[in-house]
Amino acid sequence: MKVLTITLNPTVDKSSEVANIKPEKKLRCAPPKYEPGGGGINVSRGLVRLGINSTALFTSGGRTGKLLEELLLKEKVDILPVNTQGETRENFTVVDTASNEQYRFGMPGEVVSNKEVNQIIETINSFSPFPEIVVISGSLPPEMDAAILRQIAAIAKQKNAKVVADTSGDALTAILEEGVYLLKPNLGELSRLTGIETLDNEVADQAAKKLIEEGKAQMIVVSMGPQGAYLVTADNCLHIPAPSVKKLSTVGAGDSMVSGMVSVLAKNGSPAQMACMGVACGTAATMNPGTGLFNVKDAERLYNWLIDKAVTIK
């Protein structure tokens, strides 16, 4: 199956290392590393590693936008940039090598004009042949109306595509007004969506099933960090435990999880296989330092361990 990922607020992730971060002191950092970033972009990067063909659609502006395009082409990602006047943002991550603590600085990005929003919609609507799976992931640029995600989801559904959503806040609320095929919230996002303030592992499956009954999604994979994930459908709930590994960084774990799930969807695998591959890729990403995604061999090894560990809850 062909996959289209959509990233409306992409970034170039810059990372470095320094010993003993202290205020008011000039810090001598290691040479910076530049990587493509942003939800859908990372999903496409992960899919390339897993041998799945995808196209990454994203906004691109200025010097940083050109760098982003170059970095993606080096990773053999099929790109479809929509040019904007505003400069593509940069994020910065630095690791204190003395403590192994990680400091992450996320920039907001620049405003996308109404004309540019219309160009995004037109580009998606005219994509041909239209993909079977559309992944909408990541944050929105400042001032962008979250209703654009509902519009994009509607276009995809009209063209018989399966919509996979991984976003948060107003963007998540807006896209669920249209409804999606697969949703990947964490416990905090699920709590916000359902209005259940004391949401925990014990009732997460019930909260997810409530959203399914309301037509918000057909399947929900609730990411629970060290506790693994719940796969919830209208009829079943599976718990997939998280393998115990040495964690070096959590950057990119969520996007890696989506990559793993979409790779199985694209191969018409079962929901259980999909969720296990998601947890495997997400966990594998935490084994790498900095802003790197998962190593395929790590993900495959963890998947083979997980596939027999999924437990039916209800």
Q: Which residues are catalytic?
A: 255
Between helix 169-178 and helix 187-194 the angle, nearest 10°, is 60
CB atoms within 10 A of CB 60: 21
- The vertex-254 CA angle with 190 and 246, nearest 5°, equals 115
Q: What is the DSSP-derived secondary structure letter of residue 108?
A: -
Residue 304 CB partners (closer than 8 Å, separation 6+): none
Query: Which of 136, 205, 124 shows the shortest CA–CA distance to 168?
Result: 136
Lookup: tokens for 219 = 């399947």
Give the C-alpha distances (Å, rounded to integers) separating 218 from 76, 113, 118, 147, 248.
Answer: 32, 33, 29, 21, 34
Give the C-alpha distances (Å, rounded to integers) separating 297 from 193, 284, 287, 294, 303.
Answer: 35, 9, 12, 9, 10
Residue 134 CB partners (closer than 8 Å, separation 6+): 3, 4, 5, 6, 152, 153, 156, 161, 162, 163, 164
Kindly calculate the radius of gyration of the chain based on its CA atoms and give it in whole angstroms.
19
